Amino acid sequence: MAGDGSEQRALQYEQTLMYGRYTQELGEYAKEEAARLRESGQRRSLSERSRTLDLLEYEKGRCAKCRICTVRCQKFLISRVGEDWIFLILLGLLMALVSWVMDFCIAICLQAQKWMYGGLDSNVFLQYLAWVTYPVVLITFSAGFTQILAPQAVGSGIPEMKTILRGVVLKEYLTFKTFVAKVIGLTCALGSGMPLGKEGPFVHIASLCAALLSKFMSLFGGIYENESRNIEMLAAACAVGVGCCFAAPIGGVLFSIEVTSTFFAVRNYWRGFFAATFSAFIFRVLAVWNRDEETITALFKTSFRLDFPFDLQELPAFAVIGIASGFGGALFVYLNRLIVQFIRKQKAINRFLMKKRLLYPALVTLLVSTLTFPPGFGQFMAGKLTQKESLVTLLDNRTWAKQGIAEEFDYIGHSQAWKHPQVNVFITLVLFIVMKFWMSALATTIPVPCGAFMPVFVIGAAFGRLVGESMAAWFPDGIHTDGTIYPIVPGGYAVVGAAALSGAVTHTVSTAVIVFELTGQISHILPVMIAVILANAVAQSLQPSLYDSIIRIKKLPYLPELGWGHHEKYNIRVEDIMVRDVRYITLNCCYRDLHNVLLTGHLKTLALVESAESMILLGSIERAQLQSLLSQQLGRPRRLEYIRERSIAEKKRMSVVSNPVSEDSSQRVSQEVRFQISTEESTFSPVRAVPQKPLKPALKRTSMVERHTEIPASPNDNSGIALKNLFCASPDTEALEDDGDVEDDMTIREITEWEEMQLDEQVNFNNCKIDPAPFQLVERTSLHKTHTIFSLLGLDHAYVTSIGRLIGVVSLKELRKAIEGSVTVKGVKVRPPLASFRDSGTSSSENEATELHKLWDRHKSMSLPRERHPSESDEKSQ
Amino acid sequence: MAGDGSEQRALQYEQTLMYGRYTQELGEYAKEEAARLRESGQRRSLSERSRTLDLLEYEKGRCAKCRICTVRCQKFLISRVGEDWIFLILLGLLMALVSWVMDFCIAICLQAQKWMYGGLDSNVFLQYLAWVTYPVVLITFSAGFTQILAPQAVGSGIPEMKTILRGVVLKEYLTFKTFVAKVIGLTCALGSGMPLGKEGPFVHIASLCAALLSKFMSLFGGIYENESRNIEMLAAACAVGVGCCFAAPIGGVLFSIEVTSTFFAVRNYWRGFFAATFSAFIFRVLAVWNRDEETITALFKTSFRLDFPFDLQELPAFAVIGIASGFGGALFVYLNRLIVQFIRKQKAINRFLMKKRLLYPALVTLLVSTLTFPPGFGQFMAGKLTQKESLVTLLDNRTWAKQGIAEEFDYIGHSQAWKHPQVNVFITLVLFIVMKFWMSALATTIPVPCGAFMPVFVIGAAFGRLVGESMAAWFPDGIHTDGTIYPIVPGGYAVVGAAALSGAVTHTVSTAVIVFELTGQISHILPVMIAVILANAVAQSLQPSLYDSIIRIKKLPYLPELGWGHHEKYNIRVEDIMVRDVRYITLNCCYRDLHNVLLTGHLKTLALVESAESMILLGSIERAQLQSLLSQQLGRPRRLEYIRERSIAEKKRMSVVSNPVSEDSSQRVSQEVRFQISTEESTFSPVRAVPQKPLKPALKRTSMVERHTEIPASPNDNSGIALKNLFCASPDTEALEDDGDVEDDMTIREITEWEEMQLDEQVNFNNCKIDPAPFQLVERTSLHKTHTIFSLLGLDHAYVTSIGRLIGVVSLKELRKAIEGSVTVKGVKVRPPLASFRDSGTSSSENEATELHKLWDRHKSMSLPRERHPSESDEKSQ
């Protein structure tokens, strides 16, 4: 089965490439892709032939039946291996192991720091040096290692996963290198004790695992080369990432859905649950096996009382936590962005930092660890506790500040860190919150693999604790009025605060579920839900989520969400935002038109219409396809053929003997072309690949098609006579390697004349891959509906038609601008959606009202009588 | 603002209609719709005019500024009222009240039965009579009431909601009548004590509430007439339904997503959470307010130990529960369907039951209540407990069968019902499970509003309890090997069983979350998740979910899901399943072609192509539109005009004076037509509506357009000469009411001739509403992708094009058949997907292999080398 082997290798190769391209230069990418496809098509047809031969041989052989049976068994095994559940189990197992090993290493790292710090308690300076050097070294190593091996591993990875799941191909984001860099970099970063999180990177690591596992499984064949299946598996992997990080399968699935998807296919639901549950299960079983735990329990188990978890009258306090967390979350996102932008803008700083890439991480780590140094300022903010320890103490079910006097409380274990002889526990908490807040915002800008979820979670818990302790001090006997005394449980407030703040920063509701799973108690469900929803409401109206903020900073190609209750979106139509000046080519255009269109625009695809008069949309063609058409027409090989034919004709005129070869070959080509029209599958290669070999075996040159696709297309710096430089290889070098039977004896003038002649010929679209059903919208399709369709189908652009006639085009860019309320029509910036509402009394801004804006206003003012028609036509248009 | 008022009424009217049509006769529906739109368009243009007049008057007045301010305030209030969150809060509040009041009434009903039964303990016969009569009367009343008021209220309503959320309009499913019938019917049905559930109907009730509330809110204006917004609100309402039924907001949201959606828009997520949380909160606050509870807690609060919830070695037992529940769930669905089909098939029974509609409910109730009669057989199956009481006792955290001896256990409260002096508690449990199983399957077929979730949940809990008690008897000191004794908690097994069985029946994973919220404890998360996933895996491979089963029984228009791991779906292409014989009309066709097309087919929409040669798809036209075109062309009014013009021409010939009116009017019409082409919005009415009034005010007849749409179109029973009967009103009745200025003096022969002449004219599509961008697929689009697109966009059919040329059509029907593996091409039934795998060695079925089948096999056998091309082309095709 040699054919199979080479094919599998080809598939594997393809998958590496599939993920290994960045979309920014999609034009080039598409070109390479096309070339690769043609190549592999060739290879495939060869391997297919060899396979059929193999099979024939088998059947001739004596033990044919036996071998057929073997083939069948093999196929059966392959089909089993291809089953989703096996893949998901493997993924879950792998991720649980990774998560557990990483936790183990991090714990050892942190213990080593404590041990060093503890061992040097004789000398405070040495202690400080140990306390500070250790994280600086780890973080610097992490940053350097990541920088060298795979810079893509920096950051949380959730924004990138969000973009990838939307269907955009990001370069190098799912490779083995990135995996190694992310795992080792994350372990070091977390081992340093800095306020960094594990959860975001784990989503990325799980996706990497899934992509690599999928590649590995495709060695055994199966269905691993299906693109849509890969996306489904990546979505499941994101759930596994969160699930095995927190041992929270349900929360993991929901969080990953909220964070990465726009539209979620419910049929994938079970995949996420299955893999995440299995992963969380193995993760916790490993803990039991390692004797850390007696049985499977929650990661941060709490033991609040069950009979009376909270009083109804405490709900306002929970609501206050929610609203405050909303503001806090928005502030966190803003602060984080501000730091990044500040460092980017300050050119002096930036230049310096760019030179010494590791200086920034080292400086930030030095600052943070100096401030948390326990004998120093750290004593006022429980600096000696690790993130995990602080969270455990914050979720404690005892009250710290009974009667407002901290001394009376019996601090045991880690809780002692919160006690300070001179300072009240309230002040400690406030300092902890304030310091950790900016520290976390700063630390997450370090270029190491890190997330922000855990730090924010801890800050939220501390804030909740603060409110809870205040309540407990205020109402020492609880609020309940009927006889029984139910004291207030500040730990419950901490749970609420943690869920609310992390929900506000990530704009998710499922943090509520995560806290239930993390603490193993669901008794505070209503306070948590109320706080999370309020926090989301506040945060979403102030700032984008942390992940969206990073997407904007990194300028990743992503479509923003429609915000809460943006009703005016229902009233904007496609006709208001579409670009009316569409570049198109007609079915009967000549190569000159093609050339002009390619020179003037930079669109990835061009519309193909029947004729300029009818404007009936027939399909769309990729730019690379047109470039290849044009270069084929004007390329040197064709010119050489022309010269040869001319000389043959001349010879013919001189002798009576005619050459039958050329006629035969032309006949062959026309046959091929007809074949191509009837079956769409063979659009890629045959014309170029098959006839080449029998036709001119004497010509020792590489395939023309293969060569010209390797040349970067830069159509702007050329024009007029030097046209051939534009799309063909440099003629000088070509002339050297070309030792064919024909001599290129044309002068520049002759070449120009010939080219002019060629340009006037009509384009033959037969060799061209045409997308026959590009997505179409109607003028009156609402923005809301357009957004839905774009995000549902992962579109890049859509044509706007009116009864089959092409009248405009909408791309992601226009849509993004329309949603962000900054549509620029003719260079004038339109006011944001609510602006017209705010200053509707004054007429000061009249002069900057654009055509679109007027339209917008008209829609608004006439929304009552007109709204029905559009919804009607929208319904029908799809 | 009189104009506004009439408009709002019009909108309200529209919304009633929007939901009030059944899709089966979509042709008729579309006709009515079109007529209504035309009407309202007229009304609208009038009201718009009056409004502008009003505004002008205001501005003339002295206190113009003040009035403008008022208008603005009004607008502001309206825009606030239109905010989603106000709607959601109102919905949550309303549903919480409904749920609580209903629970209250049900509790009273059940207490009344108990009281009657308890009061008559002197005479067993009287006791039996009371025990049996009470539920029979209630159920019969419920069935009768529902039957009379709104038969749509029967059943759970989840299947219907699933269909509605997919975009299909179901007749009368969201009206006030249905609401009343459902609420009262459900209260009576549950008050009878039969094994029926509240949850399914509550989803329907919440959706009804949302639809009615939306209608009510539209009185205040706002954006309540947007179709896509209504769907979003209905999705949120489903979450509220489950949420306030179980006080389980998170589980409610997830369950409603799993049960009703195919693709879920994450941007709607918060809506569901917000409304469900608010609703659950109010629902529980009402309980506190009523002094039922001291504070907000879970509905079925458990108090299992937190420190050691279960041992790792108990996991196999949980897995066994999961797998057994999977089989049990599938059996339940099968049994339920079997009962329905049996009753339908037995014609004698069916005819008898149809006559006496209330007999079936009464008989079933009699049977069930007789068997549960406590002094009778009921003593062996805890018959005297209500559903709620049994669930509470089953989730009890004490062990019933300590050491296997039931007598030693101290039964208190309701738990006593499980104790029987002669019979072991195990036998009681087994009897309970077996009896309740078929009783529930039978009871849910009664035509009253009822669900199956709760009964199944209780049976699952009982099964879990049985396993738990067995385990406790087997390992009296627990399984844990290290020193400490942790006895087994059978209550935890009950929780696991309940989640697993209900998950298996409904094919959902979120029942796990629902049990956590119901019990208020999340400590058993891993066992529950494992059991639920196993149960789902087993049940999904055996039977459809209960809701899908009902959808199939009721033959609702719904697209089935792609099953687990159906890989061959990736290899079927649209070209394999599409209908190649598409009915189309050309742009330059004459009315005769139109007539022929309408006579021969029954499709709802027809494709419009440029010409029969080019076959370039321009759009699609609804059947009703074409019918109206045809009737307009052949209608009596046009004939009368023809007669009048003829007479005028004759007059003209006789006198010199010419009539300027007709010329003026024709000019007007042409202007209108031009206007129509330039703006799509006014496609509906103007041509027919506007010119009528100024043109012929003297004619005392109703609008021609309005009249002909009221006539049922039955194009089959007519042909040839009697053509006008087909699409126009009966000429006899019309002649009577028509007292115009022209006399219809044409003979039948003349009419026929005139009609023949008219039929040869070219169709003018200007007045016609054309959908300019019907959804298009390509031949090579995979079944998987097609399914995704159909369910994402809620399509009914899609055209298959090849470079703009129409080559086929795929409708839901073909897709459904292809997915269900029974594609019939040329009348031959193709084998199910796995058949070719099973009998690949034999050649017995060769003779029934169809063309499609061969294709299928080819796809399969060549899946390795060919799979890449298709996925590639799929990617590009969208």
Q: Say yes or no to pLDDT of A801 above 80.
A: no
Sign of the CA dihedral B295, B297, B300, B302? Answer: negative
Q: Say yes or no to pLDDT of A1 above 50.
A: no
Q: Say yes or no to pLDDT of B758 above 60.
A: yes
Q: Say yes or no to pLDDT of B327 above 90.
A: yes
Alpha-carbon gap, residue A432 to A452, rounded angstroms: 17
Alpha-carbon gap, residue B682 to B675, rounded angstroms: 8
Neighbours of B346 (CB within 10 A): 12
To test the contact with chain A by mutation, choose from B12, B226, B281 the residue with the greatest count of A C-beta atoms within 10 A, namely B226
Segment A337-364 shows an average pLDDT of 81
Q: Classify residue A616 by its DSSP letter.
A: B
Of A122-131, A435-444, A478-487, which gets the smallest average pLDDT? A478-487
Query: Mean pLDDT over all residues of chain A?
Result: 72
Structure tokens, A361: 């991480």
Sign of the CA dihedral A422, A426, A431, A432? Answer: positive
Per-residue model confidence (pLDDT) at position B703: 35
Q: Say yes or no to pLDDT of A790 above 90.
A: no
Given an 8 Å threshold on Cβ–Cβ distance, is B570 in contact with A866? no
Q: Say yes or no to pLDDT of B799 above 80.
A: yes
Helix, strand, coil shares of chain B as percentages rounded to 5?
A: 65, 5, 30
Of A305-319, A343-357, A583-597, which gets the smallest average pLDDT? A343-357
Per-residue model confidence (pLDDT) at position A861: 40
Band of residue B398 on the pLDDT scale cut at 50, 70, 90: confident
- SS3 (DSSP) at B488: coil
Given an 8 Å threshold on Cβ–Cβ distance, is A509 in contact with B865? no
Q: Say yes or no to pLDDT of A843 above 50.
A: no
- Write out pLDDT tens, residues B341-367: 888 887 777 777 667 778 888 989 999
Q: How many residues does this entry show for chain A?
A: 878
Q: Is A222 left (phi over 0), alpha (psi -120 to 50) or beta?
A: left
β-strands B776-778, B797-802 pairing: parallel
Q: Say yes or no to pLDDT of B578 above 90.
A: no
Structure tokens, B734: 């019309």
Query: Mean pLDDT over all residues of chain B?
Result: 72
Q: Say yes or no to pLDDT of A52 above 60.
A: no
Q: Of A504, A499, A308, which Cα lies nearest the Cα of A394?
A: A499
Alpha-carbon gap, residue A708 to A141, rounded angstroms: 44
- Which of B14, B684, B785 has the CB atom closest to A228's CB atom? B785
Segment B282-308 shows an average pLDDT of 80
Q: Of B550, B492, B535, B42, which Cα lies nearest the Cα of B302?
A: B492
Q: Of B403, B579, B399, which Cα lies nearest the Cα of B490?
A: B399
Per-residue model confidence (pLDDT) at position B341: 87
CA B509 from chain centre, in angstroms, equals 21
Of B86-95, B690-699, B808-817, which gets the smallest average pLDDT? B690-699
**Angle B249-260/B490-506 helices, nearest 10 degrees?**
30
Per-residue model confidence (pLDDT) at position B747: 76
- Write out pLDDT tens, residues A96-147: 999 999 999 999 999 888 888 888 878 888 888 888 999 999 999 999 999 8
Alpha-carbon gap, residue A830 to A822, rounded angstroms: 5
Of A451-460, A628-637, B663-672, which gets the smallest average pLDDT? B663-672
Band of residue A784 on the pLDDT scale cut at 50, 70, 90: confident
- Which of A7, A520, A865 has the CB atom closest to B44's CB atom? A865
Q: Say yes or no to pLDDT of B670 above 60.
A: no
| Highest-pLDDT range among A22-31, A802-811, B740-749 | A802-811
Of A195-204, A305-314, B181-190, B316-325, which gets the smallest average pLDDT? A305-314
B338 to B99, B342, B438, B441: CA distances (angstroms): 32, 6, 11, 10
Alpha-carbon gap, residue B388 to B145, rounded angstroms: 26
Sign of the CA dihedral A630, A634, A635, A639? Answer: positive
Q: If 0-12 CB within 10 Å is exposed, 13-18 middle and 19+ buried, where does residue B122 land?
A: exposed
Q: Does an H or E element contain B809, and which?
A: strand B805-811
Cα of first residue to Cα of last residue in chain B, in angstroms, is 48
Given an 8 Å threshold on Cβ–Cβ distance, is B7 in contact with A79? no
- Which of A257, A264, A529 has the CB atom closest to B277's CB atom? A529
- Write out pLDDT tens, residues B518-561: 888 888 888 999 999 999 989 988 888 899 888 888 877 777 66
- Which of B48, B226, B533 has the CB atom closest to A865's CB atom? B48
| CB B518 within 8 Å of CB B299 | yes
Contacts with A261 from chain B: Cβ below 8 Å:
266
Contacts with A773 from chain B: Cβ below 8 Å:
776-778, 801, 877-878
Per-residue model confidence (pLDDT) at position A324: 95
Between B27 and A40, the more confident residue is A40
Per-residue model confidence (pLDDT) at position A35: 56
Between B97 and B385, the more confident residue is B97
What DSSP string describes B720-784?
GGGHHHHHS--HHHHHHH---SS-----HHHHHHHHHHHHTSBP-GGGS-EES---EEETT-BHH
Contacts with B265 from chain A: Cβ below 8 Å:
262-264, 788
Given an 8 Å threshold on Cβ–Cβ distance, is A616 in contact with B619? no
Q: Tell whether pTM > 0.80.
A: no
Contacts with B517 from chain A: Cβ below 8 Å:
522, 525
Neighbours of B564 (CB within 10 A): 15
Q: What angle do CA B562, B563, B567 make, to 5 degrees?
A: 85
Per-residue model confidence (pLDDT) at position B403: 47
Given an 8 Å threshold on Cβ–Cβ distance, is A312 in contact with B285? yes
- Write out pLDDT tens, residues B55-105: 445 455 556 777 777 777 777 666 665 577 888 889 999 999 999 999 999
Of A262-266, B752-756, B847-851, which gets the smallest average pLDDT? B847-851
3-state secondary structure string across A728-776: CCCHHHHHHHCCCCCCCCCCHHHHHHHHHHHHCCECCHHHCCEECCCCE
Neighbours of B9 (CB within 10 A): 12
Phi and psi angles of residue B709, each rounded to the nearest 5 degrees, phi first = -75, -15
B151 to B181, B202, B340, B450, B722: CA distances (angstroms): 8, 16, 17, 13, 40
Q: Of B492, B113, B458, which Cα lies nearest the Cα of B305?
A: B492
Q: Is B593 left (phi over 0), alpha (psi -120 to 50) or beta?
A: alpha
Q: Of B4, B29, B3, B5, which Cα lies nearest the Cα of B17?
A: B29
Alpha-carbon gap, residue B807 to A680, rounded angstroms: 14
| CB B97 within 8 Å of CB B282 | yes
Q: Of A521, A873, A176, which Cα lies nearest the Cα of B302?
A: A521
Band of residue B141 on the pLDDT scale cut at 50, 70, 90: very high
To the nearest whole Å, the CA of A107 is away from the closest chain B CA by 24
Per-residue model confidence (pLDDT) at position B844: 31
Contacts with B771 from chain A: Cβ below 8 Å:
876-877
Given an 8 Å threshold on Cβ–Cβ distance, is A521 in contact with B522? yes
- Which of B785, B804, B875 has the CB atom closest to A618's CB atom? B804
- Which of A223, A269, A865 has the CB atom closest to B7's CB atom? A865
Of A277-281, B82-86, B576-580, which gets the smallest average pLDDT? B82-86
To the nearest whole Å, the CA of B71 is away from the closest chain A CA by 12
| CB B732 within 8 Å of CB B746 | no
Q: Say yes or no to pLDDT of B705 above 60.
A: no
Structure tokens, A193: 């004790």
**Which own/partner contact pairs does B598-606 have at CB distance under 8 Å and 24+ positions apart?**
B598/B623, B598/B626, B598/B627, B598/B630, B598/B715, B599/B715, B599/B716, B599/B719, B602/B27, B604/B26, B604/B27, B604/B30, B604/B796, B605/B771, B605/B774, B605/B797
Neighbours of A5 (CB within 10 A): 11
Between B341 and A231, the more confident residue is B341
- In single-letter form, the type of residue at position A654 comes to M
What DSSP string describes A798-815?
EEEEETTEEEEEEEHHHH
Between B77 and B312, the more confident residue is B312
Q: If 0-12 CB within 10 Å is exposed, 13-18 middle and 19+ buried, where does residue A103 land?
A: buried
CA A156 from chain centre, in angstroms, equals 11
Q: If 0-12 CB within 10 Å is exposed, 13-18 middle and 19+ buried, where does residue B666 land?
A: exposed
| CB A570 within 8 Å of CB B229 | yes
Q: Of B214, B236, B212, B241, which Cα lies nearest the Cα of B227?
A: B214
Alpha-carbon gap, residue A369 to A383, rounded angstroms: 9
To test the contact with chain B by mutation, choose from A168, A270, A517 the residue with the greatest count of B C-beta atoms within 10 A, namely A270
- Write out pLDDT tens, residues A715-769: 333 333 333 434 433 333 333 344 445 566 677 787 888 878 878 877 777 777 7
Q: Say yes or no to pLDDT of B132 above 60.
A: yes
- In single-letter form, the type of residue at position B813 comes to K
Given an 8 Å threshold on Cβ–Cβ distance, is A270 in contact with B533? yes
| Highest-pLDDT range among A550-564, A679-693, B611-625 | B611-625
Nearest chain A Cα to B262, which residue? A266
Contacts with A560 from chain B: Cβ below 8 Å:
none
Alpha-carbon gap, residue B33 to B709, rounded angstroms: 9
Q: Where do we find the tokens 């002692």?
A: A416
| CB A669 within 8 Å of CB A687 | yes
Contacts with B865 from chain A: Cβ below 8 Å:
7, 44, 47-48, 51
Neighbours of B826 (CB within 10 A): 7
To test the contact with chain A by mutation, choose from B70, B510, B522 the residue with the greatest count of A C-beta atoms within 10 A, namely B522
B595 to A294, A509, B598, B633, B725: CA distances (angstroms): 80, 57, 5, 11, 13
Structure tokens, A555: 């300028």
Per-residue model confidence (pLDDT) at position B61: 55
